[in-house]
Amino acid sequence: MTTTNSAATAFSGTGTVLNPASGEVAGEVRWTDPSDVQSIATGLRAAQREWERRGAKGRAKALARYAVWLGDNREEIEKLLIAETGKSSTDAAQEVPLLIMILSYVIKVMDKAVAPEIRPASLPLMRVKKIAIHYRPRPVVGVIAPWNYPVANALMDAIGALAAGCAVLLKPSEQTPLTAELLRHGWQQSGGPDVFAVVQGAREVAEAVIDNADYVQFTGSTATGRKVAERAAQRLVPVSLELGGKDPMIVCEDADIDLAAHAAVWGAMFNAGQTCVSVERVYVLESVYDKFVAAVVRDVEALQMGAGEGKHFGALISDQQLAITERHVKEAVAAGARALTGGRRAAGPGSFYEPTVLVDVDHSMSCMTEETFGPTLPIMKVASVEEAIRLANDSVYGLSASVFSRDVSRAKDIALQLDCGAVNVNDVISNLMCTSAPMGGWKTSGIGARFGGEDGIRKFCRQETVVAPRTNLGAGGNFYNNSLKTLARTNRMVTRMALARPRRTAK
């Protein structure tokens, strides 16, 4: 027997999941023997063939039924989610609606996304051929999901894979295994075929998933992402990695300060700061710095911390995660920073850390350079927008960012100078809702992207080119026809085509 949300590292038999907010038992989980993962993947691979043959329209019907089940069972899902994560009801309420939104979008575009694509011939002599690119699903997609959003992160990628015609082998975090079982039960209850399986465990089970998948989608830390990529590379299995972030916010002198302050506090404290695209550092022009800081402190002091109903944000997932937040704050204060709010672990039971606003910070401090994943908001004064851009880019991470200015054109110009996968103008985290656009990181924040419109489905496919004759006229005419005379004639013809000037089009 093992206990999650603790320092336990051995996983065998069954385990008890504890609520990090209260220490109460949230439920029981049966750990998967790593040696069983291969047979589970084999079963998925067999079921996937029929799933692919259903075609996009047939799969869309199954996904639509699942969306209805998610909506009908939202209350049960959120209750379990709060029990195993210690979230507030405000944070827990975001996950199921996000999935239903993704499902709604995917159902609309999946037919077009996987339809064969006809390509034109590049040379006149090849116009006798019809070139079609087919998108064939990879049989088994392994999804290794994190603990911060056990519902959303488990399925937001799985939805695209199922739409493409793949089977999905999901390994949730060993710290939050319960909601994954409920999601799988819902898939079966809504009539979904046996192309969605859940395996439970820690590193050994994750390795078995990588070893038996045809594509791996991983969300988690940069350090673990490197290990996932290295193991997948041994079999030349493609991966998509969404990894760590240290997302910056830039507040220009012409920004709406109240709007920027509200956004900074929400973006930093939402889900206790345990969001990959949370606001982790803020650069404010000196002319509005004092006003911005005052507005942030005002908003933070109004927050109510605790699990369940009526609270703004809940517990950190574990004492280990809380210790990282504690270290970052203590190191910053010891180096000269000031904590205007919070700055300590909350009194009483549970892994709670008080919402903390840090000022007088700089890039010598870990709170500005390392991913905190906790309820902290470091704010730094800058002399110019150019300095803000330089500091924002002075990071090994590049997931997302935000820019606040009343001049939207100016903000867009600043956005295009930031080295990251997405930038929100006068908002934060909203790119997560843009399922038609890619969400991916630069630098050590990842490889590839999730979502991305039709590309978010196609990424789970292999491209297969089929070249078919439009006519049998001249078929086989070049087989072994390599006389010097024929080669010279072909060379002259190809050279003329390459050097030919393009025709003018009539105005």
DSSP string, 236-272: T--EEEE-----EEEE-TTS-HHHHHHHHHHHHHGGG
Please determine, for residue 49, whether its predicted confidence score (pLDDT) is greater than 60: yes
Question: Average pLDDT of 234-255?
Answer: 98
Q: What is the widest separation between alpha-carbon atoms in the chain?
A: 91
pLDDT score recorded for residue 487: 72
Contact 154, 180 (CB under 8 A): yes
Please determine, for residue 189, whether its predicted confidence score (pLDDT) is greater than 70: yes
Going by C-alpha positions, the residue among 285, 225, 247 that lies closest to residue 368 is 247
- Distance, in Å, from the CA atom of 147 to the CA atom of 426, rounded to the nearest integer, reads 29
Average pLDDT over the chain, rounded to an integer: 93
Please determine, for residue 7, whether its predicted confidence score (pLDDT) is greater than 50: no
pLDDT score recorded for residue 434: 93
Residue 122: pLDDT band by 50, 70, 90 thresholds? confident
Contact 225, 218 (CB under 8 A): yes
**Residue pLDDT, tens place only, 410-429:** 999 999 999 999 999 999 99
pLDDT score recorded for residue 5: 66
Contact 213, 234 (CB under 8 A): no
Please determine, for residue 126, whether its predicted confidence score (pLDDT) is greater than 90: no
Question: Average pLDDT of 485-494?
Answer: 74
CATH architecture of 247-435: 3-Layer(aba) Sandwich (3.40)
Question: Average pLDDT of 163-189?
Answer: 98
pLDDT score recorded for residue 127: 79
One-letter amino acid for residue 79 of the chain? K
pLDDT score recorded for residue 234: 98
- Reported as half-sphere exposure (CB side, CA atoms, 13 A), residue 385 has a value of 16
pLDDT score recorded for residue 507: 46
pLDDT score recorded for residue 480: 65
Could you tell me the sign of the dihedral formed by the alpha carbons of 444, 446, 448, 452, in that order? negative
Whole-prediction pTM: 0.93
Range list of β-strands (E), 280-412: 281-285, 338-341, 356-359, 376-382, 397-398, 400-404
In b/e form, how buried is each residue of 251-269, taking b as 16+ CB within 10 angstroms?
bbeebebeebbebbbbbbb
pLDDT score recorded for residue 78: 97
Contact 85, 150 (CB under 8 A): yes
pLDDT score recorded for residue 8: 42
Please determine, for residue 38, whether its predicted confidence score (pLDDT) is greater than 60: yes
* Active site amino acids: 242, 276
Higher pLDDT, 161 or 494: 161
Question: Average pLDDT of 484-496?
Answer: 75
Residues for the chain: how many in total? 507
Please determine, for residue 473, whether its predicted confidence score (pLDDT) is greater than 80: no
- Distance, in Å, from the CA atom of 504 to the CA atom of 126, rounded to the nearest integer, reads 23
- Distance, in Å, from the CA atom of 208 to the CA atom of 40, rounded to the nearest integer, reads 11
Domain-by-domain residue ranges, the chain? 14-243+452-461, 247-435
Q: Which residues pair with 382 in a beta bridge?
A: 285
Q: Which residues, in sequence order, are CB contacts of 327 under 8 Å at separation 6+?
A: 366
Is beta strand 129-137 parallel, antiparallel or unpaired with respect to 117-119?
antiparallel
Residue with tokens 């700061």: 273
**Residue pLDDT, tens place only, 299-341:** 999 999 999 999 999 999 999 999 999 999 999 999 999 999 9
pLDDT score recorded for residue 6: 47
Question: What topology does CATH give the domain 14-243+452-461?
Answer: Aldehyde Dehydrogenase; Chain A, domain 1 (3.40.605)
Encoding tokens for residue 280?
């982790």
Please determine, for residue 96, whether its predicted confidence score (pLDDT) is greater than 70: yes
- Measured CA distances, 137 to 46, 141, 239, 457 (Å): 13, 9, 15, 9
Please determine, for residue 491, whether its predicted confidence score (pLDDT) is greater than 80: no
Residue 1: pLDDT band by 50, 70, 90 thresholds? low
pLDDT score recorded for residue 323: 97
pLDDT score recorded for residue 499: 72
The DSSP line for 385-399 is HHHHHHHHH-SSEES
- Helix ranges (DSSP H) in 432-483: 455-458
Residue with tokens 């008080």: 354
Please determine, for residue 3, whether its predicted confidence score (pLDDT) is greater than 80: no
